[in-house]
Amino acid sequence: MKLKSVREPEAEVMSAADVQDNAQQITGMLQGWNMQMNRTEIRDLKVQLLGRYIVADPSICHGKPTFRGTRVLVSDVLEQVASGMAWETIIEEWNDSITREAIREAVQLASQALLRHTDEFTLASVAA
C-alpha cells in the first residue's frame, strides 16, 4: 500500500478516507511497538525527546509517546485524526493542552515511522 503525502487539512490534498486509513495504520504500528516492550525495558529507559512536542518518558503513561508536558497519548490523537476529527476539535477535546504544531509533528513522525517500517504492514505483494 502506498501512502499519500501528509499535509495540513486545509490543503485538501488527501481525501478524508486516505487520512483516516494512514492514521489508523500508524496508530496500529505505534500500539504494536508499545506492546513489544516489557516493563523492565521501560524502567531502564531514559526520557526520549522524539520531537519538539513529543516525548517518551518511562514515568509517564508507561513510556508511551505523549505530548510534552501532558499525559495526552500521541496514539489517542492519531486515532482522532484517523476518525476524521477536525484538528481544532481535537485541540478543544484536550482543553488546549496540545497545539496544531504538535498534531502536525505527530502526523509527520508517524508518517516517517511508517515509511521506515513499511515491510511490517505488507499484507500481500501484488504484481506491478
Render pLDDT for 31-50 as a digit per residue (tens, 0 to 9). 665 555 555 555 556 889 99
Beta bridge partners of 66: 55, 73
Residue 58 belongs to domain spanning:
15-118
**Is residue 6 domain-resident?**
no
Neighbours of 64 (CB within 10 A): 20
Cell numbers 496514539 correspond to what residue?
75
User: Which value, to the nearest 10 degrees, does the dihedral of the CA atoms of residues 116, 120, 126, 128 take?
Assistant: 10
Instruction: Tell me which H or E stretch contains 55.
Output: strand 54-56
**Is residue 3 domain-resident?**
no
Render pLDDT for 75-95 as a digit per residue (tens, 0 to 9). 999 999 999 999 999 999 999
The count of domains in the chain is 1
**Is residue 7 domain-resident?**
no
Tell if the pTM clears 0.85, that is, is over it. no
State how far the Cα of 109 lies from the Cα of 4, in Å rounded to an integer. 15
State how far the Cα of 49 lies from the Cα of 90, in Å rounded to an integer. 23
